[in-house]
């Protein structure tokens, strides 16, 4: 495991005395309980802690007692399964009232919601790589330079200095990672170099696995990629096309990393996914009876856009590649829950299932379209960053719970660290954006600890949510005329920006951003890893 630094936490207002002077309405000398773990949180959380820390600290004692009671009952800490899939609009799955409108069919996710809890304000990053990095590290993706989806061959990836949740739990849990990582092609960012015991993971996304194939060119989903797909008469650069790329690899921590599959046909792609799914189930069975719990990241490759035969005949009323792919994934979720029951570990296993961002609206209708919210993938509007999300924790979460508290995907990092008893292993030499939401999981609605979200579009701050209000920064110009404010309860599609009636919030949002930016000056972003791709990977032809 990486060596973690734990310098004394000196308080958020020390980040930049000049920049922050006069911006805080909360006393900097207020006597509150110390921030748990001495973490360097964003300035906005520090303000919340100064106002609520004593109450939250008392609640944490009650939560700790509950966790200890559960551990005594089951003889070990709970298993954790995190399911993270692609590009799904809020409301597409989880509740019959909504799915009858959307035409999706996901009965197992619906049952999960009925037996557990639904999050109505789960926020993510606007696209796949950033969301996955935030989930793994507890940090906004901009802090590690992982600000956009990585494709072959980008020659970039997750910096080795980032600390993942697998490294935090270290050898106290069996850790497994299967299917879509999307952390890039740098050796230091391979999943097996980031703490997971065993893994089969894709360096890029599922669309590369489908579209960098002859089949995709034959069906018109890809153009001029394969050798017979373009006229070479006036071309002189044989390296322009990324023909020698690698899609998925497998390995163990500290062991050899081998190419697992780089599809040449749709059949290759489907075969790879089928094999990864079988290995996912094998991981659960292998560790079900262990004295040590397991943590599983199953981030499936959803959905099939180019492989039309894979989603036909249509069996959903929606009748799109997205709906059909979600239905097939839902069947696997049902299979997974049945496996937990069969192995006798369902009661001591936490399962969280969620999408990584909104739909790919620009390829409508195949990916569906947002109805409640405007926008989709790559947008900072609610349609891009507010996703369907559900949790099941038998005996802890009351069936049918609806959670209206705000939660961000990065919060799972801190929450998993708390539940696994490894909170003291979270690094304190960097900003941690995640917030421990264990109390929300254990005590339910209104017990959350977040009322803000920063969303970056690429490397630029795109929007800030605070309570029920939102300000866009990337859509307008300077001054008041360029400040777009929204009340997302009254205007969930963000179509009617407020002006005069929201003047009271203009300076408040400015201060939120100033405090946020000042702390970056104290804890600068880590550059993205760059270099030769695929180092140390044993190619298929050499195995």
Q: What percent of the chain has pLDDT over 70?
A: 92
Please report which confidence band the pLDDT of residue 74 belongs to, taking 50, 70 and 90 as the band edges: very high
Query: What ranges in 103-219 are assigned the alpha helix state H?
Result: 107-115, 128-137, 165-169, 206-211, 214-218
C-alpha 99/C-alpha 110 separation (Å) is 9
Q: Where are the domains of the chain?
A: 81-447
User: Does residue 88 register a pLDDT over 80?
Assistant: yes
- What is the dihedral angle through the alpha carbons of 4, 7, 9, 13, rounded to the nearest 10 degrees? -100
Query: What ranges in 75-211 are assigned the alpha helix state H?
Result: 96-102, 107-115, 128-137, 165-169, 206-211
Single out the residue of 531, 476, 484 nearest to residue 505, CA to CA.
484
Question: Is 380:457 a contact under the CB 8 Å cutoff?
Answer: yes
- What is the dihedral angle through the alpha carbons of 321, 326, 328, 332, rounded to the nearest 10 degrees? 160
Q: What is the mean pLDDT of residues 59-77?
A: 98
What tens digit of pLDDT does each residue of 481-521 get? Answer: 556 899 999 999 999 998 788 889 999 999 999 999 999 99
Single out the residue of 23, 161, 76, 132 nearest to residue 356, CA to CA.
132
Assigned token pair, 31: 């006597």
The strands making up 174-180's β-sheet, listed across from edge to edge, are: 401-408, 117-123, 386-392, 349-355, 79-85, 294-299, 174-180, 198-202, 248-252, 257-261, 537-538
Name residue, tokens 């996710």. Answer: 109
Beta-bridge mates of residue 80: 295, 350
Higher-pLDDT residue of 248 and 230 is 248
C-alpha 180/C-alpha 166 separation (Å) is 16
What tens digit of pLDDT does each residue of 392-427 get? Answer: 999 999 999 999 999 999 999 999 999 999 999 999
- What is the dihedral angle through the alpha carbons of 484, 488, 490, 492, rounded to the nearest 10 degrees? 100
**DSSP H or E stretch at residue 510:** helix 506-522
User: Does residue 18 register a pLDDT over 60?
Assistant: no
Single out the residue of 203, 198, 202, 201 nearest to residue 186, CA to CA.
203
User: Does residue 51 register a pLDDT over 60?
Assistant: yes
- Does the 81-447 domain belong in CATH 3.40.720.10? yes
Name residue, tokens 């008041």. Answer: 480
Higher-pLDDT residue of 237 and 440 is 440
Q: What is the mean pLDDT of residues 48-76?
A: 98
Higher-pLDDT residue of 102 and 80 is 80
Cβ atoms within 10 Å of 18's Cβ, excluding its own: 6
State the pLDDT at residue 440: 99
R_g over Cα of the chain? 23
The 3 state secondary structure assigned to 9-47 is CCCHHHHCHHHHCCCCCCCCCCCCCCCHHHCECCHHHHH
What is the CB-side half-sphere exposure of residue 134 using CA atoms within 13 A?
A: 30
How far apart are the two ends of the chain, measured CA to CA in Å? 28
C-alpha 338/C-alpha 346 separation (Å) is 9
State the pLDDT at residue 329: 97
Question: Where does residue 343 rank: exposed (0-12), middle (13-18), buried (19+ CB within 10 A)?
Answer: middle
Single out the residue of 371, 301, 320, 304 nearest to residue 91, CA to CA.
371
pTM to 2 decimals?
A: 0.94
Question: Is 457:126 a contact under the CB 8 Å cutoff?
Answer: yes
User: Does residue 306 register a pLDDT over 80?
Assistant: no
Q: What is the mean pLDDT of residues 327-345?
A: 98
User: Nearest 5°: phi and psi at 119?
Assistant: -95, 125
């Amino acid at each position: 495991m990486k060596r973690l630094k734990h310098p004394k936490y000196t308080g958020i207002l020390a980040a930049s005395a000049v920049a922050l002077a006069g911006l805080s309405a909360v006393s900097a000398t207020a006597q509150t309980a110390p921030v748990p773990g001495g973490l360097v949180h964003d300035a906005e959380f520090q303000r919340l802690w100064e106002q609520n820390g004593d109450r939250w600290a008392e609640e944490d004692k009650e939560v700790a007692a509950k966790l200890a009671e559960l551990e005594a009952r089951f003889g070990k800490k709970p298993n954790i399964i995190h399911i993270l899939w692609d590009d799904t609009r809020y409301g597409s799955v989880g509740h019959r009232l909504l799915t009858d409108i959307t035409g999706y069919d996901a009965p197992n996710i619906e049952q999960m919601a009925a037996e557990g809890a639904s999050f109505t304000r789960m926020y993510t990053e606007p696209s796949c790589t950033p969301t996955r990095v935030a989930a793994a590290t507890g940090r906004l993706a901009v802090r590690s330079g992982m600000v956009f989806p990585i494709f072959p061959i980008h020659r970039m990836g997750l910096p080795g200095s980032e600390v993942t949740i697998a490294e935090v739990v270290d050898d106290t849990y069996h850790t497994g990672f299967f299917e879509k990582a999307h952390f890039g092609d740098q050796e230091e960012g391979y999943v097996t170099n980031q703490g997971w015991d065993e893994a089969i993971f894709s360096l890029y996304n599922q669309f590369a696995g489908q579209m960098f194939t002859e089949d995709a060119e034959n069906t018109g989903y890809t153009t001029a990629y394969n050798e017979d797909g373009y006229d070479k008469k006036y071309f002189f650069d044989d390296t322009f096309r990324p023909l020698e790329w690698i899609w998925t690899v497998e390995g163990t921590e500290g062991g050899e990393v081998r190419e697992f599959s780089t599809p040449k046909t749709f059949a290759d792609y489907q075969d790879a996914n089928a094999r990864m799914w079988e290995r996912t189930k094998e991981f659960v069975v292998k560790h079900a009876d262990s004295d040590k719990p397991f943590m599983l990241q199953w981030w499936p490759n959803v959905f099939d856009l180019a492989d039309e035969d894979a989603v036909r005949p249509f069996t959903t009323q929606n009748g799109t590649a997205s709906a059909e792919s979600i239905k097939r994934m839902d069947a696997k979720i049902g299979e997974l829950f049945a496996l937990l029951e069969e192995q006798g570990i369902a009661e001591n296993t936490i399962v969280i299932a969620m999408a990584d961002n909104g739909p790919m609206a620009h390829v409508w209708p195949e990916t569906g379209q947002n109805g409640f919210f405007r926008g989709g993938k790559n947008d900072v509007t609610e349609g891009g960053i507010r996703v369907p999300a559900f949790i099941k924790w038998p005996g802890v979460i009351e069936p049918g719970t609806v959670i209206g508290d705000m939660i961000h995907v990065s919060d799972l990092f801190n929450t998993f660290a708390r539940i696994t008893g490894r909170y003291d292993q979270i690094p304190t030499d960097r900003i941690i954006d995640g917030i421990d939401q264990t109390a929300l999981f254990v005590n339910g609605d209104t017990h959350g600890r977040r009322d803000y979200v920063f969303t970056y579009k690429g490397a630029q701050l795109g929007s800030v949510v605070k309570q029920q209000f939102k300000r866009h920064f990337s859509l307008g110009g300077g001054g008041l005329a360029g400040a777009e404010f929204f009340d997302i309860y009254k205007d969930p599609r963000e179509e009617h920006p407020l002006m005069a009636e929201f003047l009271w919030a203009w300076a408040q949002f400015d201060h939120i951003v100033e405090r946020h930016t000042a702390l970056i000056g104290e804890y600068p972003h880590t550059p993205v890893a760059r270099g030769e791709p695929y180092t140390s990977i044993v190619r298929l032809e050499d195995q």
